[in-house]
Amino acid sequence: MRTTFLPFSPPSIGEEEIEEVIDTLRSDWITTGPKTKRFESEFAEFVGAPAALAVNSATSAMRVGLATLGIGAGDEVITTPMTFCSTVHVIEHSGARPVLVDVLPDTLTIDPEQVERAVTARTKALLPVHLYGHPCAMDELLDIAQRHHLHIVEDAAHALPARYKGRLIGSAPLACAAGEAAEGVGVRVLTAFSFYATKNMTTGEGGMLTGAPDLIDQARLWSLHGMSHDAYNRYNAEGSWYYEVVLPGYKCNMADIEASLGIRQLEKLPAFQIRRHEIVARYQVAFGALPELEAPTERAEVESAWQLYALRLNLDRLTIHRAQFIEELKALNIGASVHFIPLHMQPYYANKYGYQFADYPVAQREYMRLVSLPLYPRMSDQDVTDVIEAVQAVVEKYRR
Ligand SMILES: *Cc1c(COP(=O)(O)O)cnc(C)c1O
């Protein structure tokens, strides 16, 4: 057994990030400026996006994305209960009604058939979540969006970098595919990434919204007080101090201090991903061999970003429940967690919309048996061995 506790998800920050932040601090420009611009363009290039806007979180990226698409009171936005609460909060903040639909049993991502059934005349957008880094069934979702004239805001907080049918999540071909095919009204797609401390790369707090340049320009206004300098550029009659407030914008821009971290983390992301894949490969072999466990699946048409490794317990083969399983791992010095407690079970949403536990049978059933294991690039081979041996030991001790 390990003698020290293996934390669930610490960040991987090196001297390069520290140097870049110091450089910014010494530069006299610490808020949104040249480093944020550079981070935006390097990020856009990395995922193949036409344009990118850096903000202070994925939550803000989604909020600004919904505002940019004109979604508000009287509208409905379809998402799933199997996500972090802010995915649903941003719909509430917009004034629209969040409509939750159940997930697919294999990937726990939104079920396109359920989406189709939930569309009404008030539906304006879909908010699919690429859970754990596994892309949603995007062709089916884009088809639904196209037929019903809906927009899409992707919660890609976990999906950096992830591929769907060869295309990176956030890339232009996916964002434009439906728009080009549709007659008249194209589907507009915006994608929100997270740089929260536990994500595949981090800026401490931070997020990125990618999409078509016209949408990203509009989102930029929403992200910074709705202040436009276009009038100055157009007429040049007033001084450079001149601006016009064209929207009641938010205040969620990214600062150059965070962008400094982002620039260096993005450089390391490919190496981070190689390490994540090595760890996942070992987990898959070890846990795939145990009938008490169900290892996560990766559909043939995708490449997961493997943000999280969510094991499922076959509870009928064990004498303990999930919470006890996690306690047993903790006793063996292994940190574990659960992603996520479905939103229909949370008091605010259950009370407001009258959800019953049984309304989402797949999310409900799978939630009961989810255990996320440590997965991050800094893990040593011995750390990985320790996790595997701890899980095996708990299974052996409590198998039915
Ligand atoms: C982390 C996370 C978010 C929120 O990201 P922030 O950058 O912290 O706002 C949203 N959705 C999912 C699925 C997440 O895991």
Residue 183, pLDDT score: 43
User: Catalytic site residues?
Assistant: 199
CA-wise closest residue to 143 among 170, 163, 118, 116: 116
The Cα 59–Cα 203 span in angstroms is: 14
Ligand 1 near 87 CB (within 6 A)? yes
- Taking a C-beta distance cutoff of 8 angstroms, is the pair 334, 386 a contact? yes
Ligand 1 near 110 CB (within 6 A)? no
**Which of 66, 84, 110, 265 should be mutated for ligand 1, with most atoms under 8 A from CB?**
84
- Taking a C-beta distance cutoff of 8 angstroms, is the pair 223, 170 a contact? no
Ligand 1 near 58 CB (within 6 A)? yes
Residue 172, pLDDT score: 75
Residue 230, pLDDT score: 77
How many angstroms separate the alpha carbon of residue 308 from the centre of ligand 1?
12
Highest CATH level, class, for 269-398: alpha beta
Residue 173, pLDDT score: 57
Ligand 1 near 207 CB (within 6 A)? yes
All CATH 3.90.1150.10 domain ranges in the chain, comma separated:
269-398
- Taken in order 329, 333, 339, 340, the sign of the CA dihedral is positive
All CATH 3.40.640.10 domain ranges in the chain, comma separated:
15-262
> Which portions of the chain are predicted below pLDDT 70?
173-185, 231-238
Q: State which fold the 15-262 domain adopts.
A: Aspartate Aminotransferase; domain 2 (3.40.640)
Ligand 1 near 189 CB (within 6 A)? no
**Which of 91, 155, 308, 338 should be mutated for ligand 1, with most atoms under 8 A from CB?**
155
